[in-house]
Structure 1
């Protein structure tokens, strides 16, 4: 069963200077319910660590202090 599942799973691979979108994990109390944005960004990948941690820069070049998990990101294609 695990082998059948693992056949269909595609690992997320990011490299520096990729454009990504970050999933919004905390919804603001004044949000619009199901019409809120699901993703935030785009961001630029600055550094990729083992285990899936990624450090992001915003489009202005400001570095985010905390690393983000790779499962909360998806590639952005402009």
Structure 2
């Protein structure tokens, strides 16, 4: 799996270029073009999965940050009550 979304986007661009080149050279329904298309589909799916995982991690971090803020406020209130 790729470490960053940018690296994966570059790979998607490369795969897309290779697919287009194969289509122009061997035809849109050739085995090579279909193979390149499937490779591109796989990379796009991997990118979407990575984006989803990243969003889930962001949401978890937001929740933890909010909990920390609330706990800090609670401790402050109790200390000054």
Give the number of the structure with larger relative contact order, counting CA–CA contacts within 8 Å between residues 6 or more apart.
Answer: 1
**One fold, TM greater than 0.5?**
no
Structure number with bigger Rg: 2
Q: Which one has a larger percent strand, Structure 1 or Structure 2?
A: 1
Q: Give me the TM-score of the superposition, normalised by structure 2.
A: 0.22
